[in-house]
Structure 1
Amino acid sequence: MAGTRFQLLSVFSRQFSSLNNVSTVQPKLRIDDIRRRRLTIFDKEYKRQQALIPRLEKIEVNYEGLDNEAITLVMNKGVSTPYNCAQHINEQLLKRSVVAEINGELWDMHRPISSDCTLKLLHMKQEDQHQATQVNKAFWRSCSFLLGAVVESSFQDEISVCLHSFPPANVRSGSFVYDVQLNLEDWVPTQNDFRQIAASFQKFVRQDHVFQRLDVDSSVALSMFEDNAFKSEQIPHIATKSSTGRTITVYRVGDHIDISRGPMIASSSLVGRCSIAAIHKLSPKFYRFQGVALPSEIHINHFAFGILESRARKLLDIAVWSSNGEEE
């Protein structure tokens, strides 16, 4: 929401030598205005879809927990979510659940359930290797999404910021990534820049924003992102790969909206210690922001986290995504 917006990065003001000789172009709209317009479209579409639910129908959700725990819940079709189910089970399960499995399919915690199903709730310390990999990917993907939110809102209005895309979640890479176009030819960020971006990231995730998913028609998505040439190019291509050939999945976190197939973690508060490890210049005006983070329930000492930071500074061997956005 607009009220949760933070303004921290004086580092990008004109006082810094890295920007003294930069020729900037005033963007057509301020980021605040762009976000408000996207939120208006998102809220309107969400309300339209909710109005299509004629009446509440009941469904059975069979929860499968540890030690053969089995609970049958009667929930509301198209309204109740895995998060709502967890609320009916116990508070500890609610707090540590990262994503869900619905009939074996990975599912967002705040995504409505559409039919009778079997439900599993997954956390960051899954013993099953496949489930652990899927949870880690959701965590890494969500961190990339959050990084885009922070970067987009970090620069002053005279510096235009255009989010391009983030690559598929790859835990082995050591870092999560977002590629961004800035109208800065030769920006060389300082250590203070890194610290302040990390502080902004940390402040944002601690505000406990939920990841709200919405599947929309590609025409709605194009309207949302008409100010972003990269997203406008990616949307038709992504839509063709959906089951309908026209659907785009968008997520809202706070006042930020972006494209991703998901799934995402339940809340930003599940992200713990984090750092902005590197900002690589890919080409004129194109920069790759790389970060590293730990889940909130995992704690390591300063030395060990420093090793992770060092690993995360390496430029990932991936191309700038020209047509697909985030894709797997």
Structure 2
Amino acid sequence: MKRHLTHLSRNILQNKCSNTFSLSRYLSTQEAIERRHHLFSLEKKRQLENVGRIEKIEVNYKGVPKDCTLIMNRDISTPHDCAKHLSEWHAESSALALIDGAVNWDMHRPLTENCTLEFQTYNSAEPQQVNKAFWRSCSFLLGAVATRAFKDKVEVKLHSFPGPDIRSGSFIYDVALSLPSWQPTPQELHTLTAEYVSFCRRGDPIERLEVSEELALEMFVENEYKVKQIPSIAKANGKVTLYRVEKHVDISKGPLINHAAQVGRVAVTAVHRLEGPLGSLQLYRVQGVALPAGVILNHFAFRVLAERAKKLNPARSPLGPWEEARQPVAARA
């Protein structure tokens, strides 16, 4: 299943195609990844250059070892930059930032005004928002793993993942594959798990970027499922929130956790085939379970969680947006 990565053809970047079909014919899964990564980098650079004259803001930090005031750069400095002024522990262990005691903020999202700042870890007294961000991030990372785990001849298109529901017992990503009747073996699930672990151990930061609807459509032009979703996402303010880890770029409202290494023990537990029309590809629900790094759980207890995570997650199926997910055609117990 392990994919041999390819390099993006320069011709793809240099030539502008007139429509989705003409471009999607030429982009492989890995070329699409490289193209989105490139456009994300260009847009991030453009937004930083447009900040103009640097203005200072006061960030009043509350927490250990003591409260203090940091002078940072408006629209440039992030909570992660603030954490680095305090200690390496703050920078590595913080999952989310809490702004003005009310707003959950990504660690790599620039601060826009004077504020109070607190850091939330996995040991926070009220971990609900951190847990949701962790679960959402696990789905996001599962999408990254799915795009790199298959051989080149397998077409892979990410569809979507639902909001985090810890009570469901598993995080998921719905993925369209050119495999009409895939029933993964235990060894293939183990391979997916190993890919997930390897990906997270690199510890890449999870970056956030808001882009226009037009740019989002260009970035996902080869993926007809994302193209259909983007207009409704951008309906509120014309913006689409993207996240990047390593070279993988995807859509999520967030917030997501600080970096991939905060995912500790993990298992990809099941792949369920979903019924319904989806063009030439088949939709699969990929499921997993994970613990934050540093959380200790004995082998027996984690195995219980993994067994539970094999059952079809009842989140709404994208094939029937207002229905519960249908029973799988084929799934491993």
Of residues 47-56 and 134-143 in structure 1, the stretch that sits farther from structure 2 once superposed is 47-56
Q: Deviations over 1:249-281 (max 9, x none)?
A: 001100110000111100000000100111111
1:88 and 2:85 aligned: yes
- In the other structure, the counterpart of 1:52 is 50
Q: Distance in 2 between matches of 1:238 and 1:46?
A: 20
Check conservation: 2:3, 2:152, Cα contact below 8 A: no
- In the other structure, the counterpart of 2:209 is 214
- In the other structure, the counterpart of 1:300 is 297
Runs of 4+ in 1 over 4 A off after TM superposition: none
Of residues 169-178 and 312-321 in structure 1, the stretch that sits farther from structure 2 once superposed is 312-321
Which one of the candidate residues 256, 263, 273 is aligned to 1:264?
256
Check conservation: 2:3, 2:148, Cα contact below 8 A: no
What is the aligned length? 296
Aligned to 1:73, what secondary structure does the other structure show? Answer: strand
Check conservation: 1:27, 1:157, Cα contact below 8 A: no
1:315 and 2:312 aligned: yes
Q: Deviations over 1:104-160 (max 9, x none)?
A: 2100001110100010100001112xxx11000000000000000000111112111
Aligned to 1:49, what secondary structure does the other structure show? Answer: helix
**RMSD between aligned residues:** 1.8
Summarize the alignment of residues 69-80 of structure 1 with structure 2, pairs less than 5 Å apart: 69-80=66-77
Q: Distance in 2 between matches of 1:175 and 1:306?
A: 13
Q: Deviations over 1:207-257 (max 9, x none)?
A: 01101110000000000000000100000001113xxx2000001100110
Q: Deviations over 1:269-313 (max 9, x none)?
A: 000010011111112611000000010010111111101101111
Residue 93 of structure 1 and its aligned partner are, at CA, apart by: 2.1
- In the other structure, the counterpart of 1:106 is 104
1:191 and 2:186 aligned: yes
Instruction: State the TM-score, normalized to the length of structure 1.
Output: 0.87
Q: Distance in 1 between matches of 2:239 and 2:288?
A: 30
- In the other structure, the counterpart of 1:19 is none
Q: Which amino acid aligns with 1:118?
A: T
- In the other structure, the counterpart of 1:275 is 267
- In the other structure, the counterpart of 2:326 is none
1:165 and 2:164 aligned: no
Q: Deviations over 1:23-54 (max 9, x none)?
A: xxx96422221111112211111111111111
Residue 320 of structure 1 and its aligned partner are, at CA, apart by: 2.0
- In the other structure, the counterpart of 2:11 is none
Which one of the candidate residues 113, 121, 124 is aligned to 2:122?
124
- In the other structure, the counterpart of 2:2 is 8
Which one of the candidate residues 144, 147, 167 is aligned to 1:149?
144
Structure 1: gaps of 5 or more residues? 1-6, 11-25
Which one of the candidate residues 129, 135, 142 is aligned to 1:140?
135
Q: Deviations over 1:146-199 (max 9, x none)?
A: 000000111112111110000101111111100011111111100000000000
Instruction: State the TM-score, normalized to the length of structure 2.
Output: 0.85
Q: Distance in 1 between matches of 2:37 and 2:111?
A: 24
Check conservation: 1:27, 1:160, Cα contact below 8 A: no
Aligned to 2:269, what secondary structure does the other structure show? Answer: strand
Q: Which amino acid aligns with 1:299?
A: I
Q: Which amino acid aligns with 1:120?
A: E
Aligned to 1:221, what secondary structure does the other structure show? Answer: helix
Check conservation: 1:110, 1:211, Cα contact below 8 A: yes
Higher relative contact order (CA 8 A, sep 6+): 1
Residue 321 of structure 1 and its aligned partner are, at CA, apart by: 2.7
Residue 90 of structure 1 and its aligned partner are, at CA, apart by: 2.1
Structure 2: gaps of 5 or more residues? 5-23, 277-281, 322-333
The percentage of counterpart residues that share the same residue type is 44
Residue 85 of structure 1 and its aligned partner are, at CA, apart by: 0.7
Check conservation: 1:145, 1:258, Cα contact below 8 A: yes
Residue 66 of structure 1 and its aligned partner are, at CA, apart by: 5.0
